[in-house]
């Protein structure tokens, strides 16, 4: 994980949203710390899966699939003939450069949030 594109405000927003449900479980459960720890672990597992898929996307593993799907879907459009013509004539190398340009400022927040949620779950499980 490269931290050069890390934005603390985006990270803080993601963590607040992810902690809403565990905090709700903490307040409303009969065994609050256990419910908090369990819900943090479940969210950490789900976010880890999302982070792994996003990491594959950031490394460019889905580029050829997107290129082929874009060609197939644009072939059926009748309204955007100019767009279709531009997409059909675009080379795969140009498409790859465009995709790299789109991803250059991205950061894998789901994976980082999942690691922190996992740590929060482990720490809170120690006090159960």
pLDDT tens for each residue of 11-26: 999 999 999 999 999 9
The pLDDT, as a whole number, for residue 111 is 96
Residues of the chain with pLDDT under 50: none
Read off the pTM: 0.79
pLDDT reported for residue 9: 96
Q: What angle do CA 18, 106, 108 make, to 5 degrees?
A: 40
DSSP for 27-75, written as a single string: HH-SSHHHHHHHHHHHHHHHHHHHHHHHHHHHTTTTHHHHHHHHHHHHH
Q: What Cα–Cα distance (Å) separates residue 111 from each residue in 44, 79, 116, 117? A: 9, 40, 9, 10
1 is written with which tokens? 């994980």
Report the pLDDT value the prediction gives residue 105, as an integer from 0 to 100: 86
Instruction: Write down the pLDDT at residue 40.
Output: 97
């Amino acid at each position: 994980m490269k931290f050069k594109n890390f934005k603390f405000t985006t990270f803080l927003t993601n963590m607040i949203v992810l902690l809403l449900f565990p905090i709700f479980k903490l307040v409303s459960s009969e065994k609050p710390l256990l419910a908090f720890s369990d819900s943090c672990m479940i969210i950490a597992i789900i976010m880890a899966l999302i982070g792994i898929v996003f990491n594959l996307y950031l490394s460019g593993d889905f580029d050829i699939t997107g290129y082929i799907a874009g060609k197939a879907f644009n072939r059926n459009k009748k309204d955007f003939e100019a767009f279709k013509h531009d997409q059909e004539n675009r080379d795969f190398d140009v498409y790859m450069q465009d995709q790299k340009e789109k991803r250059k400022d991205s950061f894998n927040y789901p994976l980082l949030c999942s690691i922190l949620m996992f740590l929060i779950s482990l720490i809170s499980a120690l006090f159960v």
